[in-house]
Every structure is written in C-alpha cells, then in structure tokens.
Amino acid sequence: MIAPLALAAAAFLQVGTTVPGASSTGADPGAPVGRLAVEALEFPPLVFEPPVVEEREVSGVPVFHLYDPTLPLVDVQIQIQGGIGHFPREELGRLSALPPLLRNGGTQAAPPDSVERALDLLAAQLTIGAGGGGTSVGLNILEDRLDPALALLSEILLEPGLSAEALEVWRGQEAARIRGREDDPGSLAFSEFNRLMYGNHPVGWVMQEEEISPDRVSVARLRELHSRLFCRDRILVGVSGDVEWEEAERLLTRFLAPWPDCRAPLPTPPGAQVRSEPGVFVLPKQVDQSTIIVAGPSRIRLGDTPEFFASRVADFVLGGGGFGSRILSRLRTEEGLAYGAGSVWTAPILYDGIVGGLTASGAPTTVRAAALLLEVLGSIREAPPTEDEVAEAVETTATGYVFAFDSPAQIVARQMSYRLQRLPSNWLFRYLEGLQEVTTEEVAEVVREYLDPELMTVLIVGDPERFDAGLEALGALYRLSPDGTFVPWVNAASDPDGSPRSPQ
C-alpha cells in the first residue's frame, strides 16, 4: 500500500495543465496544477525597510535609540573610548586588566559576590570587555527592571571595588594564557604574524608575563587609570528594545549625572609602519599540520572611496567567498592540500593594513601549499576578477545583507561603531551602494596597484624536519622564536642571485 504522503507528493509533481473532472470540486477546470501551478504564483516585490536608529544627546553624551516592543527586554550598550590603541606599551597590562576587574571586582560598597547576587536577582546579563579602541559594556534586562539595573551599573562603572582577590585571579588566568600561547599553533601564528608586520605598534604587541606583574598591575594603578578613562567626554550610549524615548531619556539623565568631565584629551592613536621587506619566517613547532600566512602591506583605508569598495570585491573573489574563491578552489578542490584556506585584506582607518592569504596544510605539503598561496596571489594581477566573479561577489553580499539587521541591539551597535570611526551615519547603506557601483576595471586596478607578492612576508608555524623540499626557493629564510626575535636560517641554502623574493 502506498502511503498517503507519497500519493500527495506524486500528485504535486505531475506536469499537466488540467485535471479531468476538476470542476466537480469547484476548481477551475482550466487552472494549472502541480509544478505549473507553483510557477504561476505571483508575489508582490519584497521591500526591505530596516528600522531607523535615532541619534540624540543626553547631558552632552551621544545616545543612539531604537524602540522595539517585540519582547519586554532592553539592551544598553556603552562604549568608553580609550584602549590599548591610545596608550604606550607600559599601560598594556593595566588596560587589559581593567575591564574584567570592573566586571568581577565588586564595588566600593559591595564585594564581588554581593554584586553577582544583585545581578542575578534582577535577571540581568552584564558583559564588560575591551578592544583596541576602548571598553565595551553590554546590559540586557527586562524592561520593568531597567531603572534598578542602571543604578547598579552606575555603581559598578563609577565606584568599582577592583578587588585585590579578583585581581590575583585575573593575574593567574592571564599568566596561564601567556604560558599556554604556544599550545595553539593557529593563535600563535596570528599573534606572531601581527608582531612581524607591525612591530612596536598596538596591533603587534604580544603580552609578556612581566607586564602583568604586581609592580605594574596593582589596585592603585588601576584606580588611577580608571579615573582617566571613565569620564563623560569618552562615552557613547546605545539603548534598544522595549523602552520609548521619553522613559529612556529620563533614566539616562539620572545615569549620566554623576559621570565627571575628563581631565585631559584622549591621546592620539599612533601611526604604524607595516613591514614591506619580503622574507620567509619559520617558527619551529612539532605539529602534524603547519599554519601558513602570506601577506604584505596594503595602503587602502576604510572609507567612501572606489578603491576601498573594489578591494572588498577583490577580497571576496580571492579568498573571502568560500568554496568559489580562487584560493580555496586551488588549494582544496584542485590540489587537495588543505581543508580550509582564504584571504585577508584589512583596511584600518588610521594606518595601513595587510593583504594576503592563509591556510593550514599537512607538514609534508607545507612548502607546496605556501608556494601555491604566493602563486594565486600573484596570478590575480595577471588575470583579474571577471565580470561574473565581480557580479557574484556583489550579489552574494547584497543577498546576505539582511543579516546585518538581526536584532535592534546589533543595529544600534553598528551605528555606535560608525560614530567612533567617524563614518557617516548611513554607512551601512552606503557600503552596499558602494559595492554595487564597483566596476570590473576598478577591481583590476586595485589588485594591480595594492597587491604585490614580491613584498609579502611568509610565516610558517610547523615542523621543518617534516617539510617537503624547496623551502629555500620561497625566499630569504629566517628562524623565528616565540619571543619575536629571528635569525637567518643558516642551514638553508642561499637564494640564487636574482630570485624574485631574494633581498636586494
């Protein structure tokens, strides 16, 4: 006996125009059925109208507000400008310790466990983290508990306990992380590559254990740093969810009232000199799989320029587009040398970025994989992205753009980041428009001008005893140590005179 579901499926897949006797059911005997019926369906065009974030000001502080009563929840986001990117190296340990100590160190009036209990009773989710630009705070709370939650948050941020016990817990965790850095070859490769490319710049800094010692990171020093950072001129606030502006304004006025004015302007972030001298650096590590990063300097900066938008398309074609990208197609599909591979093309606002590719391959195919990365990076200059590749990059980005609006909190966070980066408030839409305006000729010009394999640095974290032959052919070789120092690879053959990657 055939199951009713199978009969229904078979009937649906019929390709016909009429059904004898259909009029007995009241249906139009001439109406299409099956696949033709589906193909005949008509729908109005989809019009996506994303919610608009309102930018306001409370007590001199920029506030971004988005009302959404879908759920009785409110998200409060706070950005305090002034992070690792603004201060000298000697502040690195303290800047790293302050956010977790604010979150876990209690307040001056309550120990850490009491603060945790108060957050639990409010059913509040509180996160405090740090980035290169400053400290980020996120509070998720039920709408009817927003008032007491903001009062508690004010106490946490402005009257922190900075518990000595919590500081020692952080110090121990950070020391363990530093000592275990070499246990993760992938993370080790990224941190060492940043150090190679950016040197003594915040992007290239790698925390050392002496930088978290008690004489450098103490409660007293953290309090002094806190007084410089947590002041009115440094903050941006975002509020989204089930709270209308009148109520949000009332609560934020009370929340911002105690914030002091800043005593001094925020230091200007330093510029960066990106490495442009080619070289092949091997960090020996006895692992079965090598991590390979190949990249050089890129002068393209984030901004409303044809070059920036063209570089985003080029990056998609090169390695950011997944299985259809050139790097992954060559290394995985055609050669079977790697499971994953891709490209990187950064575009900071204040300094130059990097452009290149990365992958992981078995130790016996390490050199072959690195050579193929260089080959693909070079070949795109001679065979730039085609019209079809450019069209696919733009269409894929546009199709996935709806995910930029997953939640009100995400939308508000984007607007806050645009403000911090001094981008126009409509940047989310301008970015898509800019991509859609890119021409094939502009992409070709960008890869020819800004992507030069002869200036690229190659970093390999792996076991050189198991590498395939030809390592010396990649360029001038250096042995890299986990502390960032390197020496010539004396056991490797010298590059032949005139090698395209040999030092001049």
**Per-residue pLDDT tens listing for the chain (504 residues):** 444 434 333 333 344 444 444 444 555 677 778 888 887 888 787 666 778 899 999 999 999 999 999 999 999 999 999 989 899 999 999 999 999 999 999 999 999 999 999 999 999 999 999 876 899 999 999 999 999 999 999 999 999 999 999 999 999 999 999 999 889 999 999 999 999 999 999 999 999 999 999 999 999 999 999 999 999 999 999 999 999 999 999 999 999 999 999 998 888 888 889 999 999 999 999 999 999 999 999 999 999 999 999 999 999 999 998 888 999 999 999 999 999 999 999 999 989 999 999 999 999 999 999 999 999 999 999 999 999 999 999 999 888 877 777 889 999 999 999 999 999 988 988 999 999 999 999 999 999 999 999 999 999 999 999 999 999 999 999 999 988 899 998 754 444 333 333 332
* Structural domain 54-256, CATH architecture: 2-Layer Sandwich (3.30)
Q: Which long-range contacts (CB under 8 A, 24 or more apart) does 141-149 make?
A: 141/73, 141/74, 141/76, 142/72, 142/73, 142/74, 143/72, 143/73, 143/74, 143/241, 143/242, 143/243, 144/72, 146/74, 146/76, 146/243, 146/251, 147/251, 148/122, 149/76, 149/122, 149/124
The fourth-level CATH superfamily of domain 279-488 is Metalloenzyme, LuxS/M16 peptidase-like (3.30.830.10)
| Sequence ranges of the domains in the chain | 4-40, 54-256, 279-488
Coil vs helix vs strand at 340 = strand
54-256 and 279-488 share one fold = yes
d(CA 187, CA 171): 20
Tokens of 16: 């016909």
Strands of the 486-488 sheet, one edge to the other? 338-345, 353-362, 289-298, 457-462, 279-284, 477-480, 486-488
DSSP track, 127-157: EEEEETTEEEEEEEEEGGGHHHHHHHHHHHH
d(CA 240, CA 77): 9
Q: Which residues pair with 359 in a beta bridge?
A: 292, 341
Amino acid identity of 79? Q
Give the per-residue pLDDT at 133: 85
Give, for 79, the enclosing helix (H) or strand (E): strand 73-81
Q: Find all residues with CB under 8 Å of 44, minimum gap 6, and list them.
A: none
C-alpha dihedral, 469 to 473 to 479 to 485, nearest 10°: -160
Amino acid identity of 13? L
Alpha helices in 219-347 (DSSP H): 219-229, 245-256, 306-315, 326-328
Q: Find all residues with CB under 8 Å of 157, minimum gap 6, and list them.
A: 78, 102, 137, 230
d(CA 152, CA 81): 21
Give the per-residue pLDDT at 5: 38
Q: Which residues pair with 295 in a beta bridge?
A: 356, 457
Backbone angles phi, psi at 315, to 5 degrees: -65, -40
Give the per-residue pLDDT at 493: 41
Give the per-residue pLDDT at 494: 40
Q: Find all residues with CB under 8 Å of 60, minimum gap 6, and list them.
A: 232
C-beta atoms surrounding 426 within 10 Å: 11
Q: What is the DSSP letter of 368?
A: H
The dihedral through the CA atoms of 235, 241, 245, 251 has a sign that is negative
pTM: 0.83
Give the per-residue pLDDT at 9: 37
Nearest of 494, 487, 480, 450 to residue 196 by alpha carbon: 480
Give the per-residue pLDDT at 37: 80
Region of residue 316 (phi > 0: left; psi between -120 and 50: alpha; otherwise: beta): alpha
Q: How far is CA 170 from the centre of its chain?
A: 25
C-beta atoms surrounding 95 within 10 Å: 23
